């Protein structure tokens, strides 16, 4: 068996998501399993170098996981010939500049979303990567959630008949930071630092809707800053001027209507932190992060509206759970493996910087819809 080393510059992985999902549960998990197998039998072993602005944090992270290579000098890492891939999970405001430098250095690039703070910049990155001839990919993790993989299977099987609508509920209560620490970083709530739930979550909803149900054609979005005062990681009060909730309606191809509420100021009383309810002429389904339930046309109860009596039907009992017929990998790890194969043997990888630009396009349209209080069309991107 032949083993091939693949050097990966990992920038911005000292944060919670970068550490847990991209480093520990993806790259280190791939190393533990013996690498990624290619078609010719070669096994690709990722060799990460951790990059961060805070020397103490990045050194501590590297030592905690037995990683020998780490640095605070991104420029030096990019100009080293030892590494072929650059991964970016740093702040949104820094992503465009970092990716431009990596592409100029001839690195293949893989990054979190949003890929940029504006559609103009996102398209510019996509064009730059194409001209440079480097491989490029964007994290689209929710496509790999077990619940949505089951939902996709239902769509492809024709279970729904004609799909009528999609309703999504995402979010949870993020503590303000005064009497309990916040679960999200303070920059999420500051416009100047690239915060806001519309820019964050509409990028996700674009690829979920496009890939599962139909291409997004138009959006109507209302944002809100429900909690205007929060406390940062040092316990200092600050003005939260970025949106912490978004209430959006989307028109999809085929006449499908999607409605998705996204909020960091809501308390959960549903099956999961995110749920998608799909209704079709032949059946309906509800998916969370890992589980999915269905109700077929022939099993649909016949309720009668009567406000004078307690509801006699247990509606939850009428649904059947989709079984775990297949094992499901961690979604971030599964996509990392696909991107590694894309780099090393030109395996398929459709979620590139064009897909990233589409996410930014929808977020920008959502913000414009909120500002102008109107529907905004989503035209095809011109690359």
Rounded to an integer, the average pLDDT of 73-77 is 97
Rounded to an integer, the average pLDDT of 264-292 is 98
Q: Is 360 helix (H, G, I), strand (E, B) or coil?
A: helix
Helix extents (H) in the chain: 16-17, 29-32, 55-64, 74-78, 92-104, 119-132, 146-157, 197-212, 331-345, 353-372
Per the CB < 8 A criterion, the answer to whether 88 and 102 are in contact is yes
Per the CB < 8 A criterion, the answer to whether 319 and 295 are in contact is yes
Per the CB < 8 A criterion, the answer to whether 71 and 91 are in contact is no
pLDDT at 383 over 80: no
pLDDT at 1 over 80: no
Structure tokens at 1: 């068996």
Give residue 180's pLDDT.
95
Look at residues 299, 333, 330, 287 and name the one whose alpha carbon lies nearest to residue 153. Answer: 287
In angstroms, the CA 383 to CA 373 distance is 29
pLDDT at 111 over 80: yes
Give residue 53's pLDDT.
93
Give residue 92's pLDDT.
86
In sign, the C-alpha dihedral spanning 261, 197, 209, 17 is negative
Mind listing the pLDDT tens digit for each residue in 118-148? 999 999 999 999 999 999 999 999 999 999 9
Q: Find the length of the chain.
A: 383
pTM: 0.95
pLDDT at 96 over 90: yes
Give residue 78's pLDDT.
98
Give residue 91's pLDDT.
85
Per the CB < 8 A criterion, the answer to whether 145 and 331 are in contact is yes
pLDDT at 93 over 90: no
Give residue 234's pLDDT.
95
Mind listing the pLDDT tens digit for each residue in 24-34? 999 999 999 99
Rounded to an integer, the average pLDDT of 274-297 is 98
Percent residues over pLDDT 90 in the chain: 97
Question: Domain extents for the chain?
Answer: 3-141+331-351, 143-326+362-372
Burial of 28 per CB tally in 10 Å (0-12, 13-18, 19+): middle
Percent residues over pLDDT 70 in the chain: 100
**Residue 77 pLDDT class (50, 70, 90 cuts):** very high
The half-sphere exposure of 356 on its side-chain side, counting CA atoms within 13 A, is 30
Q: Which fold has domain 143-326+362-372?
A: Dihydrodipicolinate Reductase; domain 2 (3.30.360)
User: CATH says 3-141+331-351 is which class?
Assistant: alpha beta
Mind listing the pLDDT tens digit for each residue in 181-199? 999 999 999 999 989 999 9
């Amino acid at each position: 068996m032949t083993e091939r080393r693949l050097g990966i510059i990992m920038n911005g992985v000292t944060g919670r998501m970068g550490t847990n999902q991209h480093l520990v549960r993806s790259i280190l998990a791939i190393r533990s399993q013996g690498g990624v197998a290619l078609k010719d039998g070669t096994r690709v072993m990722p060799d990460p170098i951790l990059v961060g602005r805070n020397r103490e944090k990045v050194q501590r992270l590297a030592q905690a996981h037995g990683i020998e290579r780490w640095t605070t000098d991104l420029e030096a890492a990019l100009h080293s010939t030892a590494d072929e891939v650059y991964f970016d999970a740093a702040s949104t405001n820094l992503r465009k500049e970092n990716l431009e430098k990596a592409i100029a250095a001839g690195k293949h690039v893989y990054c979190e979303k949003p890929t940029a703070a504006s559609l103009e910049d996102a398209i510019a990155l996509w064009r730059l990567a194409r001209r440079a001839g480097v491989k490029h990919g964007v994290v689209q993790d929710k496509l790999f959630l077990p619940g949505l993989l089951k939902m996709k299977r239902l769509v492809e099987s024709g279970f729904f008949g004609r799909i009528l609508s999609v309703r999504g509920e995402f979010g949870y209560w993020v503590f303000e930071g005064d009497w309990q620490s916040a679960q999200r970083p303070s920059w999420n709530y500051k416009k100047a630092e690239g915060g806001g739930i519309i820019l964050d979550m509409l990028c996700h909803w674009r690829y979920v809707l496009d890939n599962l149900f139909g291409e997004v054609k138009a959006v109507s979005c209302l944002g809100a800053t429900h909690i205007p005062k929060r406390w940062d990681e040092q316990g200092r009060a600050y003005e939260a001027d970025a949106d912490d909730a978004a209430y959006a309606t989307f028109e999809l191809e085929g006449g499908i209507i999607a409605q998705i509420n996204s909020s960091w100021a809501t308390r959960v009383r549903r099956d999961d932190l995110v749920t998608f309810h799909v209704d079709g002429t032949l059946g309906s389904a509800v998916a969370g992060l890992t589980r999915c339930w269905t109700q077929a046309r022939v099993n649909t109860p016949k309720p009668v509206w009567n406000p004078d009596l307690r509801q006699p039907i247990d509606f939850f009992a009428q649904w059947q759970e989709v079984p775990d017929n297949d094992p499901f990998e961690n979604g971030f790890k599964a996509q990392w493996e696909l991107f590694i194969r894309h780099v090393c043997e030109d395996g398929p990888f459709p979620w590139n910087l064009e897909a990233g630009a589409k996410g930014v396009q929808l977020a920008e349209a959502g913000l414009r819809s909120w500002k102008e209080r109107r529907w905004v069309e989503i035209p095809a991107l011109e690359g």
